[in-house]
Structure 1
Amino acid sequence: MREFVLFCVGGVLGFVVDAGVLQLLVTGFAWDRFSARLISFLCAATATWLFNRNLTFHGTRNHSRFGEWWRYIFAMSGGFACNFAAYTAVVLTFDVDGRWLPLAVAAGSVAGLGVNYFASRHWIYRSKPQA
């Protein structure tokens, strides 16, 4: 249970990064809501990887740092598919833009949570089998 709670704390950190980068790109640099989301996802996934690597799953190391990051980003793409689908549904259904985009990011974050935890726990940070 501790592991899942820490994973959720990391998810909140990821949400803050995701929503912040998205806001910056959309309102500060006039990017569209969907292209900016791809960049904000990469930033958020990297932030959650650092958090999870150092706190949530701190004892399990099966790959090099870059190999672990790459696998983590790849594994999170499944959760991101759920996340982006929910984000897109909220954005298009309610014509969400500007300062309300974090609400769509939050819906996406909730949608991808289970997939991301399962991928992290059972693929990226699984324990090596005992001999």
Structure 2
Amino acid sequence: MVDTAVLYALQGIMGPFYARALSFLAAVLATWLINRNLAFRGRASALSRKSEFLSYLVLMLAGGLVNYGVYSALVLWQPVVRQHLVLGVAAGSLAGMSVNFLTARYLLFRK
């Protein structure tokens, strides 16, 4: 939801590709907060919050590249996605979600 909200707020100003890059960063911040406080609450990372977020961001880039690649391909090649960017966000998010979960689970919040 954060991803799509930021994308739609910025796409008129920045276009669908630059706006998507910023919406992805906003989504990373939101998911880190959710993962830190809910999903992995009992698993400490042994890092300061700043270091933990930066590590999380770096780890999420792998899934983010998959996510952005799928989104971009669909926006470029599918007119319906160009008209409804949320479809590209959903497809990209699904594609990158498993990569992101696995890196968070096994590399950052492993204790």
Equivalent residue number for residue 2 of structure 2: 17
Per residue, is there more helix in 1 or in 2?
2
Aligned counterpart, 2:69:
85
Measured after TM superposition, the shift of residue 112 of structure 1 is 0.3
Q: Which amino acid aligns with 2:95?
A: A
User: What percent of counterpart residues are identical?
Assistant: 43
Match of 2:22 in 1: 39
Q: Could you tell me which runs of 5 or more consecutive residues in structure 2 were left unpaired when the two chains were aligned.
A: none
Q: What residue is the counterpart of 1:113 in the other structure?
A: 97
Mapped partners of 1:34, 1:115: distance in 2: 21
Distance 1:68 1:37 in 2: 23
Residue number in structure 2 paired with 1:103: 87
**Paired residue for 2:108?**
124
Distance 2:22 2:69 in 1: 16
For residue 97 of structure 1, report the CA deviation from its aligned partner.
3.2
Q: How many pairs are equivalent? A: 109
Structure 1: 4+ residue segments shifted above 2 A: 95-98
Letter in 1 for 2:105: R
Structure 1 residue 48: deviation in Å?
0.4
How much has 1:77 moved relative to structure 2? 0.1
Tell me by how many angstroms 1:60 deviates: 1.7
2:74 and 2:88 in contact (8 A); partners too: yes
Question: Aligned-pair RMSD on alpha carbons?
Answer: 1.0
Supply the AA of the counterpart residue of 1:92.
L
1:10-65 deviations in Å (ceiling 9; x for gaps): xxxxxx000000000013xx211111111101100000000000000002222110
Structure 1 residue 64 corresponds to structure 2 residue 69: no
